[in-house]
Amino acid sequence: MEAQRLAFEQRLEANTIRDFWDLNVKYKEQLDQDDAIITLQEDIVRRAEAQVKNGVMTDTDYLTQINLLTQSRLTRKTHEVQAAQAREMLIAKLGN
């Protein structure tokens, strides 16, 4: 019985370490990547706007770029919510 308890505690500790890693590394890296994607997409939209004004790009293609920027922003918000959820689950697991 004692061996089972120790094995359970070890698994719990390993899971807690993984959860800390997820919060401090995985989600931060994901949000940093999201920020980089948004910055690039904003630049693409600025260029697309100039191309529309110069008659090089259609309004439909411009709107496609706007939609991609919006999707990038929504993806980042989704990742923010996932990080917050993971943080709250860890807090609940630790009983704080």
pLDDT score, position 77: 98
Is the pLDDT score of 74 beyond 80? Answer: yes
Is the pLDDT score of 5 beyond 90? Answer: no
Supply the pTM of this predicted model. 0.77
What single-letter amino acid sits at 71?
Q
**Tokens standing for residue 35:** 């920020």
Domain count, the chain: 1
What SS3 string covers 72-95?
Answer: HHHHHHHHHHHHHHHHHHHHHHHC
- Angle value at C-alpha 33, between 31 and 63, nearest 5 degrees: 100
Q: Structural domain of residue 31, as residue ranges?
A: 2-94
pLDDT above 90 coverage of the chain, percent: 60
Using 50, 70 and 90 to split pLDDT, how confident is the model at 19? confident
What single-letter amino acid sits at 5?
R
Taking residues 30-56, report their average pLDDT: 97
pLDDT score, position 64: 98
